[in-house]
Amino acid sequence: MKLSEYSNLVQKTGIYPRDTVAEALVYTGLGLTGEAGELANQIKKIIRDDRGELTEERRQKLIDELGDVFWYAAATARELHITVEEVLIRNSNKLLARQKANTIQGDQRDGI
């Protein structure tokens, strides 16, 4: 599926208040935060319930939650009148600039 096709699906399946830009952004922003929390909760359950093992069942739940996170991110982009592709390009440019300036920090063993 292309990102533009997914964005069209988001538009068709998005039923939420849009009386003002602020109202729409509050809804999509809170939805994004909530779904990110659900993703984090599934990761927590790997430790608590699955003894540190990523089971196939948990993997599928993570993928489902990640899809929900992406839906809200795409809906937020739509409310900002920007395409998902434009968001990704802008983020890529920011990351490449940080890399060039040698300002990306973290544990280099992880590659992140």
Domain 3-100 listed as CATH 3.40.50.11540: no
Could you report the per-residue pLDDT of 2-48, keeping only the tens digit for each?
999 999 999 999 999 999 999 999 999 999 999 999 999 999 999 99
pTM of the model: 0.88
d(CA 102, CA 19): 44
Residue 64: predicted pLDDT: 98
- For residue 12, the model assigns a pLDDT of 96
What are the tokens at 67?
Answer: 């899809």
Domain spans of the chain? 3-100
Contact (CB, 8 A) for 101 and 54: no
CA distances from 38 to 15, 21, 43, 66 (A): 20, 26, 9, 9
Query: Would you say residue 109 has pLDDT above 80?
Result: no
Torsion of CA 83, 89, 94, 98, to 10 degrees: 160
- Under a CB-based contact definition with an 8 Å cutoff, are residues 77 and 87 in contact? yes
Residue with the larger pLDDT of the pair 100 and 107: 100
Q: What is the pLDDT of residues 48-63, one digit of tens each?
A: 999 999 999 999 999 9
